[in-house]
Structure 1
Amino acid sequence: MPETDETVRDLIRAHYEDLTQTERKCANALLQDYPGAGLASITEVAANADVSTPTVARMVQKLGFKGFPQFHKALLQELQAKVSGPTQRRDAWASEAPAAHLLNRFSQAVTHNLEQTFSHVDSDRFDASVALLSRTEGQLYIVGGRITRSLADYAFTHFQAIRPGVVHMTSSAATWPHYVLDMGPGDTLLIFDIRRYEANLLRLAELASERGVKVVLITDQWTSPVARVSDHAFTCWVEIPSGWDSNISTMMLLEAMIAAVQESRWPEARKRYEELDQIFDQTRLFRRPGSS
């Protein structure tokens, strides 16, 4: 099995240019129904992709696997990682943890996550997403799930100060049709979704996309199903020695996006900041340094 933190999806994308036309046909079929399309037997995978069995075998070898069984095992391990809950993840870490102090293991894991996350960010895709988040011809809708709603709230607080027309969608799916009602071409939807992925967020993305909304997804390394309908998807590494996943790399990517949007809209953003400070002074919500 390839010694890499990349998923099979990442390997397919990385080696796509090296594949023949028929091998690409197989790869596309796998990506369209990932990872389910690759969990059948090699003959079934070939039949579903309308290619020969040897074509499938050659393709997986080009991805770095010794053969289809190893490829199949890698997909199963990814699927197991996707559905594992906090208890299972904590047990897995405890059995493999070194004797070093938790603080050291934690910092090593976080550093690794940051390195992996930013090494997998495509700069063109990042710039295109920033352009979507910056444009004010339409609304910017922001939503998160059970765990990621705090990230959505953080994003809303900053983007609302940088630009007008930002809408923070509530975490209650029952209210989402009211937001979708006003969505249309020119709007952008920023979604946060990490494992366990939420079916409601996928349906929301589908409805928004059908109405011409551009969808930007921030997810984990196993990739939310929302990626199928998103215009731009970013994968963040999240595993740490804990029963919970970490949002540190996700927050770092978000802050990079916030900084880029602010830069792209300067000096308009600066004017908004100055007006916002004036309003804060009028409301006396905050004390300025040195004031009595």
Structure 2
Amino acid sequence: MTKPPPTVRDLIRAHYSALTQSERKFAQALLDSYPAAGLASITIVAANAGVSTPTIARMVQKLGFKGYPQFHQALLRELEAKVSGPTQRRANWASEAPATHSLNRFAQAVTQNIEQTFANIDSARFDAAARLLADTDGRLYLVGGRITRALADYAFTHFQAVRGRVTHMTSSSATWPHYVLDMAKGDTLLMFDIRRYETSLMRLAEIATARGVRVVLITDQWMSPISDLATHTFNCWVEIPSAWDSNISTMMLLEALIAAVQEERWPATRERYEELDALFNATRLFQK
């Protein structure tokens, strides 16, 4: 299975150093409102960015496109991929499925997703996010969406053992104002949001950041709009030969963060583990 082609966003970042000042102006305008800023005609896009049409034409060629129409089509395909539902995703995979067993195709896709995800994680950004998640001067809140709420629940089970002051927000957005009521500057909110991105999560991020809460976002390769508000954003590759997206690479990144937070707080975390084990023994919850 071949690797997915780079997004326009990826191409801009890879070629940014080769762009002129006016080309960078358009590139920044596109990244600030991605991909909407590039979906109109070249004349409208140029006017909105305050650059000339030749500037845009030169830049898209530097990114590897023959011309603006191909650049425009690439953005449209990304937008279509963002909003596609299960039926369309299944049709896409069915039309391209190799003639091998589904187990092999699934394993190849998952392995590729994991490799792509970890290849695109900046270690310094990862370490900074781990320090935020480990900071008990503020509370840590966790929340997921319709599918990713299972990840938030998994994260809560582990982070509650690793550190204190952890709150798992329920999956019902109607209850979220009760949690926001106690949020304060210096708190951290770990959010999971993959396509189709949920408007309720976006609104929660807006309200939380307005209160000084730092957001750590785990999303997919197309990037939730919450990334515009997040202190740290991590992209996980999620496509598999299925009508559904996969959470395997997302889970691996989450477990890596949990392990990093554990090490960041050791030996305080070791004391919590020992006390927790004593409580498990007292309740006789597990067999010896």
| Residue aligning to 2:113 | 113
**1:22 is aligned to 2:22:** yes
Separation in structure 2 between the aligned mates of residue 221 and residue 165 of structure 1, nearest angstrom: 31
* 2:200 alignment partner AA: N
Q: CA deviation at 1:178?
A: 1.2
| Residue aligning to 1:249 | 249
| Residues 195-253 of structure 1: CA deviation (Å, up to 9, x unaligned) | 01000111111111111111110000011011111111111000000000000000011
Unaligned runs of 5+ in 2: none
Separation in structure 1 between the aligned mates of residue 59 and residue 27 of structure 2, nearest angstrom: 8
- Provide the identity percentage: 74
Deviates more, 1:88-97 or 1:10-19: 10-19
Separation in structure 1 between the aligned mates of residue 209 and residue 13 of structure 2, nearest angstrom: 23
Separation in structure 1 between the aligned mates of residue 225 and residue 146 of structure 2, nearest angstrom: 16
* Matches for 1:1-292 after TM superposition, within 5 Å: 5-288=5-288
Q: TM-score, normalised by structure 1?
A: 0.96
Structure 2 residue matching 1:234: 3-state secondary structure: strand
| Residues 88-144 of structure 1: CA deviation (Å, up to 9, x unaligned) | 111111111111000110111011101110111111111110110011100000000
Unaligned runs of 5+ in 1: none
Q: CA deviation at 1:13?
A: 2.1
Separation in structure 2 between the aligned mates of residue 4 and residue 36 of structure 1, nearest angstrom: 22
* 1:133 alignment partner AA: L
Q: CA deviation at 1:5?
A: 2.8
Separation in structure 2 between the aligned mates of residue 272 and residue 177 of structure 1, nearest angstrom: 30
Separation in structure 1 between the aligned mates of residue 4 and residue 21 of structure 2, nearest angstrom: 26
Separation in structure 2 between the aligned mates of residue 169 and residue 4 of structure 1, nearest angstrom: 34
Separation in structure 1 between the aligned mates of residue 102 and residue 31 of structure 2, nearest angstrom: 37
Separation in structure 2 between the aligned mates of residue 218 and residue 6 of structure 1, nearest angstrom: 19
* 1:148 alignment partner AA: T
Q: CA deviation at 1:15?
A: 2.2
Structure 2 residue matching 1:15: 3-state secondary structure: helix
* 1:21 alignment partner AA: Q
Deviates more, 1:18-27 or 1:183-192: 18-27
Separation in structure 1 between the aligned mates of residue 62 and residue 17 of structure 2, nearest angstrom: 11
Separation in structure 1 between the aligned mates of residue 152 and residue 4 of structure 2, nearest angstrom: 31
Deviates more, 1:127-136 or 1:13-22: 13-22
Separation in structure 2 between the aligned mates of residue 38 and residue 53 of structure 1, nearest angstrom: 12
The alignment covers a number of residue pairs equal to 286
Structure 1 residue matching 2:181: 3-state secondary structure: helix
Q: CA deviation at 1:6?
A: 2.1
* 1:30 alignment partner AA: L
Q: Say what the alpha-carbon RMSD is for the aligned residues.
A: 1.1
Q: TM-score, normalised by structure 2?
A: 0.97
Separation in structure 2 between the aligned mates of residue 63 and residue 42 of structure 1, nearest angstrom: 16
* 2:86 alignment partner AA: P
* 1:186 alignment partner AA: G
Deviates more, 1:160-169 or 1:175-184: 175-184
Q: CA deviation at 1:4?
A: 5.6
